């Protein structure tokens, strides 16, 4: 697990980082956001929605190998 260095609030930068590690176009989402929770969706669309939302989400890019975690925001930017 690595922490994405700050500034880390641009979903496009996070998308580029994940694709450099082998992420494909789609992902599986576990999220506080019920509209996307439990679904396979386009990675870029999911990142646009969850980055900076302030609520927790786990985005599985390569099952068991690569994921993105957006923590719940309590003070300042959440861990990513």
Q: Give the pLDDT score at 73.
A: 67
Q: Report the pLDDT averaged over residues 41-69.
A: 93
Give the mean pLDDT of 45-57: 91
Q: In what order do the strands lie in the sheet with 26-31?
A: 39-42, 26-31, 57-62, 66-70
Q: According to the model, what pLDDT value does residue 6 have?
A: 76
Q: What does the pLDDT read at residue 79?
A: 57
pLDDT at 16: 95
Strands 39-42 and 26-31: antiparallel
- Among 10-14, 48-52, 75-79, the range scoring the smallest mean pLDDT is 75-79
């Amino acid at each position: 697990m690595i922490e994405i260095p700050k500034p880390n609030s641009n979903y496009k930068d996070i998308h580029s980082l994940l694709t450099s590690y082998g992420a494909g176009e789609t992902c599986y989402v576990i999220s506080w956001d019920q509209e996307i929770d439990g679904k396979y969706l386009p990675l870029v669309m999911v990142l646009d929605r969850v980055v900076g939302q302030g609520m927790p989400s786990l985005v599985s890019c390569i099952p068991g190998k690569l994921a993105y975690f957006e923590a719940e925001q309590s003070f300042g930017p959440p861990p990513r």
